Each structure stands twice: as structure tokens, then as C-alpha cells.
Amino acid sequence: MSTKQINFYESVQRNFDKAAAISRHPKGLLDQIKVCNAVYQMNFPVKIGKDFQVIEAYRVQHSHHRLPTKGGIRFSHLVNQEEVMALAALMTYKCAIVDVPFGGAKGGVKISPRQYTPEELERITRRYTVELIRKNFIGPSLDVPAPDYGTGEREMAWILDTYQTFKGGEIDAAGCVTGKPVNQSGIHGRTEATGRGVFYGLRELCNDPKMMAKVKLDLGIAGKTMVIQGLGNVGSYAGMICQKEGGVRVIGVSEQEGTIISDKDINIEKLVEYRKQKGSILGFPGTKRLEHREDWVKIECDILLPAALESQINKENAKFVKARIIGEAANGPVTADAEAILLKKGVLIMPDMYLNAGGVTVSYFEWLKNLSHRRFGRLEKRFDQNTYSNLLTTMEKMTGKSIGQRERTFLTRGADEVDLVRSGLEETMINSYDQIMDYFNRFKKIEDLRTAAFTCALDKVANDYLTLGVFP
């Protein structure tokens, strides 16, 4: 038996083939969906200090069945073409799962952000954007990037400014990128979106009697134990929201500097602040350090949440997993080989293409906001507030009873933008979960949730291609 580890791209393709074998679509159509439509590999010089450095970067558009294409840009020294192609493919299926009308795309810049000053990162980001503009790989109707590993609001603001510089007068220019700061045409609730989507997805799973019976756990997310690998944007928000709104107990956290565990509940909000001050999660009060950082996979828990990079659970360490549920908060954290091992062990895996789709869902809302040129809630908030107030006043007159000011304020509150964003995200995650479970329960050949999600996504993309036809 070969000991070779399959890479991320091979895992995605293997999962595709597994779902394709179940679908009834023509082979030629499946072949079209499987391949990446456009791959742009670039090398550009940037002045770093007193010298010039050639930067390797990519932008991949996987599917043009719907436009624009959509996908984040990651800054990492591990970036390569196959990784970006895999991520772009996942974006296609992810958008289809949550009914967001985009094709999949992804970008990557092969650098380690920690090795550069903010000024140098700005030069790299702006030059990368220029390269995308030159080849028509960015635009509100063409291709809309977003943050990913190693990037955030700051980088998206640089991209927007660069695009507007070259596309002066374009009325919808703000829609060329999402994940921007709120004061730069961003949207409230975007930063937390992926983590909040993870919470909604896990909550739906834990409220499903059939699924909980499979892993012999009580119904509901409250009280369940969780281990988080990766305390970046996704892992931190997922942990905080799961704790505050779901009553989850986080008993372990792993980061680059090490892994910590606790018999009690590790407060993620306080841990994030501690790490900002100390530069490490190690030494956080009430926790102890594991001897080996990679032993996070061995911690016994209800939910294991890999929220960092791909291929973190592979065929070498899958046998050590003691969790009942793995929630893929990151892209591709479980390899295809590892999944085969875990499924035999009875582990329930909630796939990335659904669970971390909160980011692209709210990015869609931001894009819509940019195209409509108005903030969500601006037109209806006060009308709703006045309507609710009049209704309460009428009830008071009819009953002869008064409602306290505190209760009145709560009941008559109109929805702000963040309320509408969270509501839209929750609705999306619930509906998408129901769609996945429909496939899981309806098709006897489907034995796991990833295959169910892939098959559902394939059907949607294939139907789009069949409806559009082939031209000429």
C-alpha cells in the first residue's frame, strides 16, 4: 500500500468523481464542470527595500456558468497553482450549495505576509490588482475577489482604490471586491460571517435527531465540547459565537505556537485578546500546554473544528481522531484518504463547501449593496419601527394595560443592516442544510454529507449549463 499523501487538488477531484458517479448528467457536461475555465499565472517585480523582488501569483476562474466569478485572495508562502485551482473549484460548488449566483474563482500570492512591512504589502497588493485589471480578471460583472487566509479588510481597500484609479467613472466600481471596511462600501457583519455561518451549520446538524443518533450524542448544540484548530478570523468568531449563542464548551485550542487544553471552558474572546497582548495562546490562565502541537487531533471531544489550512487531517493522523463530529471551518482540512478512515470510524463530517459558506453568502449581500448603492435597512427601518409602535399603542388602548419602556424599545426596534445580514445568512444556512439532507436521505448510494453536498451542487451547476446551452 502506497504511503503517498494525496494533495488538496487531488482530494477535490476525487470527491467530484464520487458525486459525478451518482449523478445522471452526460459525461461531457461533467468534464466541463470539473475543469478550470481560466488559469492566470503571473510574475511581477516589486521594490522591497533597496532591491526588487519577483512575486509569483495566481488567479483562477473555475466556472463561468454564472458571472461574475467569486473567490478570495490568499497570501501564503504555500500558494501554488494546484491549490488555487482546488479552492476555485470548491468556490463553484460552495456558491451553488448556498444559492449564490456566482461562478467559482480564487487568487493566491506566494508570500509570507509576516516577512513584509505594511507598506511593502500594499505595494504587492496594488501591483497584483493591476495585473488582474490588465487581463480582465477583476470587475463587478467579471470577477469579484474577497479576503482569504493572510488577507483582510485592509488589502481589500487597497484593491478597491487601485481599481477605481484605473477605472475612473465606473459607477459600480465598489462591487469589484468584497470584504471591504464598512466605511469603504463594505457591509456590517462581513468580518464575522464565515464563523457565524459555521455556528448556524453546526446548530442545524446538532438539532437533527437522525444525525445525532448516528454519533450517539444528545440533541442540541448546548453543552457540547469543541476543539478549535486555528484562531484566525474564522476560528475565533466561530468559537466566540458557538460559546455565546450556542452554549458550546471549548476545551482545546491549537495555533502555530502550540496547543492548549482545559477541563473547563476556554473563553475564546479573552483568549484572542490574550494572544494579541502576549503574541501566543500559551500560558492562558486555566489551561495547560500539550507536549506536541499536532496532538490537537487526539483530544477527545464532541466537535473538532479545523479552521486553518487544507490537509490538516490526513491518512497519517486520522486514526487518532476521537471527535464525534468534524466541522470543516477551513477549506479542505480533511483529505479524501483521511475521510475514508474517519467514515469507517463513524465520524460525522460536515463538509467545508457548506459549513464555511457564510463568507461568500455575506459577500453576495455586500455586492448587492454596492450595485444598489444603498445600505440595507435604510429605507424601511423607521417605517417598521413606527408600525410596531402604533401596533403596541393600539393593543394598550384595547387591553387597558401598559407596556414598560424597556419592552417597548425592544419590541418596536427596526432592523439595522447587521440584523438583516445575520437574518439572511441564517436563512441561507438553514435552507442549504435542508437541501443537503434531502439528497442524503433520498439517494441510497450517498453515504456521507460531503457526497450529498457535492451531488446537490453538481445538479445545480449542470442544470445551469443545460439551460444556457452551448454556443455556437
| CATH number of the domain within which 128 lies | 3.40.50.10860
- Do 76 and 207 belong to one domain? no
Beta strands in 187-290 (DSSP E): 225-229, 249-255, 258-261, 288-289
How far is Cα 95 from Cα 61, in angstroms, rounded to an integer? Answer: 13
Set of cell numbers at residue 309? 489550512
Q: Of 131, 160, 186, which residue is a domain's last?
A: 186
Sheet of 143-147: strands edge to edge?
38-48, 51-61, 103-109, 69-75, 143-147
Task: Based on the fold, state whether residues 130 and 26 are members of the same structural domain.
Answer: no
Q: What is the pLDDT of residues 253-299, one digit of tens each?
A: 999 999 999 998 999 999 999 999 999 999 999 999 999 999 999 99
Kindly state whether residue 135 falls inside one of the protein's structural domains. yes
Verify that 231 and 358 share a domain, yes or no. yes
**Contacts (Cβ under 8 Å, ≥6 apart) of 354:** 94, 97, 98, 201, 432, 433, 436, 449, 453
Q: Residue 472's CB: how many other CB atoms inside 10 A?
A: 3
Q: How many domains does the chain have?
A: 2
Over residues 113-133, the pLDDT tens digits come to 999 999 999 999 999 999 999
Is residue 124 domain-shared with residue 193, that is, in the same domain? no
Block residue for cell numbers 483521511? 338
Eight-class DSSP state of 258: E
Within a domain: residue 398? no
216 is catalytic: no
- Bin 320: left if φ > 0, else alpha if -120 < ψ < 50, else beta: alpha
Q: Are 238 and 199 in contact (CB under 8 A)?
A: yes
Give the pLDDT of residue 2: 46
In a domain, 76, yes or no: yes
In a domain, 472, yes or no: yes
348 and 470 together in one domain:
yes
Taken as a whole, the chain contains a residue count of 472
3-class DSSP assignment, residue 373: coil
Same structural domain, 306 and 289: yes
Per DSSP, the three-state class of 174 is helix
| 310 found inside a domain | yes
* Phi/psi of residue 117, nearest 5 degrees: -75, 160
Q: Do residues 26 and 53 both lie within one domain?
A: no
Same domain, 317 and 256: yes
| Other Cβ atoms closer than 10 A to 363 | 27
d(CA 382, CA 105): 39
C-alpha 32/C-alpha 228 separation (Å) is 37
Domain end, chosen from 186, 216, 247, is at 186
Model pLDDT, residue 79: 95
One-letter amino acid of 414: G
CA distance 103 to 452: 20
Last residue of a domain, one of 168, 186, 204: 186
* Same domain for 329 and 233: yes
Residue 9 corresponds to which cell in the numbers above?
A: 487538488
Helix H or strand E segment including 142: none
Q: Which residue among the candidates 18, 70, 94, 106 is catalytic per the annotation? A: 106
CB under 8 A, 24+ apart: contacts of 188-192:
188/416, 188/417, 188/418, 188/421, 189/362, 189/417, 189/418, 189/421, 189/422, 189/425, 190/359, 190/362, 190/363, 190/366, 190/421, 191/153, 191/233, 191/237, 192/237, 192/241
Residues of the chain with pLDDT under 70: 1-6, 471-472
Strand residues in 303-447 grouped as ranges (E): 303-306, 325-327, 348-350
CATH of the domain at 24: 3.40.50.720
257 is a domain residue: yes
Domain that holds residue 87: 37-186
| 125 and 44 assigned to the same domain | yes
Q: CA 380, CA 27: separation in Å to the nearest integer?
A: 49
Residues 48 and 66 in one domain: yes
Q: Answer whether 315's CB lies under 8 Å from 342's CB.
A: no
User: Do 162 and 258 belong to one domain?
Assistant: no
